[in-house]
Amino acid sequence: MSVVELFGPGLFAMLVLVALVYLLLSLAPVLWPAWRAFRRRDRLPHPFLFVGVVTGLSYGVMSFYVFTFAVPVETYTVFIAPQLQEAGIPHGEALVRMSNWVTDYWWVPSPLMLLAATVWLTAWLARRWDRVCDALG
């Protein structure tokens, strides 16, 4: 039995389309700055370096979010909240529920946040890229 027979052609086509969109959004930190750096109209100097820098900064922004917000909240949820609950002390039940929801569904907004960071960083750095390259020598 094939996947098309299992889901039907309409649902299968929709699943393939969603998977392709998710893939393109996940590759945005490479594709968007590459498109900007290699345009014929106003090509940036050292385009491969530009793509690498924007890609690294985009993933760095996402890592910063994870390490400054997600890890401390999840640490609180796993280690501190259960101890407070056992002691009968208010433990932030709404925070625990929200953290559990974010833990379950983090993958849905992740590519959109990555795309937003990439578009902003590409525009911000492209305006300054000539001066950056001049400073590097």
The tens digit of pLDDT for each residue in 69-79 reads: 888 888 988 99
Tally the domains of the chain: 1
Mean pLDDT of the chain: 90
Question: What is the per-residue DSSP string for the chain?
Answer: --HHHHH-HHHHHHHHHHHHHHHHHHTHHHHHHHHHHT-STTPPSSHHHHHHHHHHHHHHHHHHHIIIIIHHHHHIIIIIHHHHHHTT----HHHHHHHHHHHHHTTTTHHHHHHHHHHHHHHHHHHHHHHHHHHH-
Which residue range(s) make up the domain with 58? 3-136
Q: What is the pLDDT of residue 96?
A: 87
